[in-house]
Amino acid sequence: MNSLKKVPAVTGSFVLVCCILGAAAVAVTILVAICIGPTPLSPGKMISWIIGGEVPDPTERTILMEIRLPRVLLTGLVGALLSVCGAVLQALLMNPLAEPFVLGISSGAALGALSSMVLGVGLWSIGTSTAAFLGAVGTVVLVLALAGERGRVNMTRLLLTGVIVNAFFTSMIMLLVSLSRTEQLHSVLFWLYGDLSGARYDQIWLMGASCMGGLVVFFAHARALNLMGLGEQVAEQLGVEVQRSRTLLIAMTSLLTALAVSSSGLIGFVGLIVPHLMRMALGADHRVLIPTSALGGAIFLIIADALARTIVSPSEVPVGVITAALGAPFFILLLRAGGNT
Amino acid sequence: MLRSGLDVLGGRMLWKRGILSIAFWAALAQVACSVEIVDQAGRKVSIESAPRRIVALAPSIAECLFALGLDEEIVGVTEYTNFPPQALSKPKVGSYIHLQIEAIVGLKPDLIVATMEGNPKSQVEQMERLGLKVVVTNPRTLDDLYETLLILGKILRRESTAEHLIENMRGAIRTLSGLVASRPKPRVLLQVGSNPMVVAGDETLQDHLIKVAGGENIGASQGRGYIPLSLERAITLAPEVVLISSMADSLTAERVKESWKRWPQIPAVAGGRIHVIDGDLIDRPSPRIVEGLKSMTKMIHPEISSLIEDSLGEMGDRS
């Protein structure tokens, strides 16, 4: 709690430096990640390709440009979206445990996706991503409607409603899993723990544009978020339209999370730990926190996915397994080292 | 003749015609070389020349391709592909249910043989987007399997091998059917999974095999596909024969077999007719299924097992 309230002032140039360094780190991570994969490609070729040369072999070009690059880009965008949404929600709900799935989005999306996988016949076969997106958005609308009171949203009530709706939908998910046929179970499980393997460029354009749009909106509200951390009344006295900003930001984070979930399945931990790491390292000012959370989330998820693709090659483990396995110990370590931050 | 033709029509004209006709025949030869088939997903696939680098996306498909004598041409298989032994040394491209597209592309295949039941549709579509040639098979019955073998034989220029293979399979199955035709049909339950118990229901390959082997699949009365069955229901169904498909390891199958013995009121338990059957031989639509069918028939009709052995004795050597 304390960490959310302390807002040390930062200068514009500090924000700029953080962004530039972060963007450079993302670029390096992307380049390293496309060099890694089950098919060995010679490092010499990779270097010449990175410098700008052509990859002569059509097979290697396909692997690089049509399989690895779209996957790495999609992974980066999903990581950025989840992480930045986590940062914003932690501030909005004034709760360090908040993450993008806290309002029931994960179970809503999963329920949508599983319905399309398990019951998906005829009219209902609208595709897993669309079903997940609709499920996610529907759930948030439901949670907001249940928690709202005369147009105002009480944050504690919102949080509790989210938890309860989540629990209810999780039981529905288990019902669907128990009804599903054996041969469907595998893909259902993979989806539940995050699957980035089917990346396509059209997805990436959509995600990229949404990510940029979201970042602009969030960054524009950075000062409001800082002030809201001081309490609703203080923020209002200082000229923040608290209710309006909250509604807009909750809607925005929900849409972006739904989008991320619909293209990648459920990837936990990114939205929780990356914002905390950034807050520990760079302070709680949202002008820094928002861009660096996005960049950090991209780096973290790209690394996790590179591991998911390679550690049990030629098979793959769900990326959610890696994010939790990597994130949990690392986070505990930092928490202990950081003491009371 | 040619000379006089030149004289009459004028040299240049005939020359032109000659070129045209050469082009025509060349084109025709090209067409004759390329094979067009409709695969078992109902898609039209045309194959220009005999594929030389093939990836098999399921253990059963690899078995079919090896049976057609394509040992050299197979460049990639999926995990759990364990037959024939030379398949073990082929590069793996992930499990059939979650393929590693990158590994497949890296093998530069000119033909990928997929299976409709198992390979994710989205991944098959992804491979096609990447310009790979995919043929989809869907063998759910013995007749489907013959069709699969014929299609593969046609694309891979092994038609006579395929026909020979099918003739042998048909012969063995005809013999088996003849032996069990006039016998009573015991009530068979085929268990494919434990905790929860899953049995082969209607419209499964195993259901088909039980019928051919002269049994009545009581799992079929419970619905289509592979069905989770409560213990209570399994007991009330009163199977006379319980077959346990050895799934991951034979140890588990033996333990499952032991656990049945707690229910002596079940006819199969009372009669000591609980058997573990090699899952690879009855789950995989491949020519080896004849072997699975043979051991299944012996389990369902043990009284004629020596007769079966005598009639089909040489079968084991062939495959």
Residue B100 to residue A198, Cβ atoms within 8 A: no
Q: Is A183 on the interface with B (CB under 8 A)?
A: yes
Among the partner residues B92, B106, B192, nearest to A59 by beta-carbon distance:
B106
In this prediction, residue B21 carries a pLDDT of 62
CATH code (residue B188): 3.40.50.1980
Residue A62 to residue B130, Cβ atoms within 8 A: yes
Taking CA atoms, what residue in A is nearest to B227? A181
Q: Is residue B178 part of a domain?
A: no
In this prediction, residue A264 carries a pLDDT of 87
| For range A60-86, the mean pLDDT | 91
**What is the model's pTM?**
0.78
Among the partner residues A37, A68, A316, nearest to B98 by beta-carbon distance:
A316
- Per-residue model confidence as pLDDT tens digits over A81-119: 999 999 999 998 888 888 888 888 888 888 888 888 777
> Which A residues 226-285 touch B at CB under 8 Å?
none
In this prediction, residue B291 carries a pLDDT of 94
Residue B100 to residue A182, Cβ atoms within 8 A: no
Residue A181 to residue B93, Cβ atoms within 8 A: no
Same domain, B313 and B200: yes
Taking CA atoms, what residue in A is nearest to B104? A39
Q: How far is CA A158 from CA A59, A104, A140, A254, B47, in A?
A: 51, 10, 10, 13, 59
The confidence band for B24, taking pLDDT boundaries of 50, 70 and 90, is low
The confidence band for B70, taking pLDDT boundaries of 50, 70 and 90, is very high
Contacts of A210 (CB under 8 A, 6+ apart): A81, A255, A256, A259
Same domain, B24 and B60: no
> What is the ipTM metric for this complex?
0.70
Question: Which of B199 and A120 is assigned the larger pLDDT?
Answer: B199
Same domain, B13 and B73: no
In this prediction, residue B253 carries a pLDDT of 84
Q: Is residue B166 part of a domain?
A: no
The confidence band for B6, taking pLDDT boundaries of 50, 70 and 90, is very low
Residue A182 to residue B193, Cβ atoms within 8 A: yes
State both tokens at A279: 């807050």
Q: If you average pLDDT over every residue of chain B, what do you get? A: 86
Residue A186 to residue B98, Cβ atoms within 8 A: yes
Neighboring chain A residues of B97 at a CB cutoff of 8 Å: 183, 186-187
Q: Is A315 on the interface with B (CB under 8 A)?
A: yes
- Per-residue model confidence as pLDDT tens digits over A180-233: 766 667 667 777 777 787 788 888 999 999 999 999 999 999 999 999 888 888
Percentage of chain B lying above the pLDDT 90 cut = 59
Question: Which of B53 and A152 is assigned the larger pLDDT?
Answer: B53
- Among B162, B169, B117, B122, smallest CA distance to B138 is for B117
Does the pLDDT at position A124 exceed 50? no
- Among A136, A160, A134, A129, smallest CA distance to A147 is for A160
Q: Is residue B167 part of a domain?
A: no
CATH pick for A2-338 out of 1.10.3470.10, 1.10.10.10, 1.10.1060.10, 3.40.50.300: 1.10.3470.10
Question: Which of B217 and A97 is assigned the larger pLDDT?
Answer: B217
Same domain, B143 and B238: no
Neighboring chain A residues of B120 at a CB cutoff of 8 Å: 187
Contact B282, B60 (CB under 8 A): no
Same domain, B121 and B56: yes
Residue B97 to residue A187, Cβ atoms within 8 A: yes
Q: Is residue B168 part of a domain?
A: no
In this prediction, residue B151 carries a pLDDT of 95
| For range B279-302, the mean pLDDT | 94
Contact A100, A89 (CB under 8 A): yes
Does the pLDDT at position A256 exceed 50? yes
β-bridge partners, B276? B244
Instruction: Please tell me which of A8-12, A313-317, B194-198 the model is most confident about, judged by mean pLDDT.
Output: B194-198
- Per-residue model confidence as pLDDT tens digits over A105-114: 888 888 888 8
Same domain, B28 and B43: no
Q: Is A186 on the interface with B (CB under 8 A)?
A: yes
Contact A148, A251 (CB under 8 A): no
Same domain, B20 and B87: no
> Which A residues 53-112 touch B at CB under 8 Å?
59, 62-63, 66-68
Neighboring chain A residues of B130 at a CB cutoff of 8 Å: 62, 66-67
Q: Is residue B200 part of a domain?
A: yes
In this prediction, residue A56 carries a pLDDT of 65
In this prediction, residue A331 carries a pLDDT of 79
CA of B172 to nearest chain A CA: how many angstroms apart? 31
Same domain, B207 and B249: yes
Percentage of chain A lying above the pLDDT 70 cut = 89
Q: Is residue B43 part of a domain?
A: yes
Residue B226 to residue A66, Cβ atoms within 8 A: no
Q: Is A13 on the interface with B (CB under 8 A)?
A: no
Give the position of tokens 């070389």: B33
Does the pLDDT at position B19 exceed 60? no
Residue B93 to residue A67, Cβ atoms within 8 A: no
Question: What is the tally of structural domains in chain B?
Answer: 3
Q: Which of A123-132, B224-233, B257-266 has the lowest mean pLDDT?
A: A123-132
Residue B94 belongs to what domain range? Answer: 37-157
| For range B31-41, the mean pLDDT | 82
In this prediction, residue A200 carries a pLDDT of 84
Does the pLDDT at position B246 exceed 80? yes
Residue ending a domain, among B116, B138, B157, is B157
Q: If you average pLDDT over every residue of chain A, what do you get? A: 84
Question: Which of A126 and A105 is assigned the larger pLDDT?
Answer: A105
- Per-residue model confidence as pLDDT tens digits over A273-291: 999 989 988 988 999 999 9
| For range A311-328, the mean pLDDT | 83
Same domain, B222 and B150: no
In this prediction, residue B20 carries a pLDDT of 57
Top residue of A42, A45, A59, A67 to mutate, by most chain B CBs within 10 Å, is A67
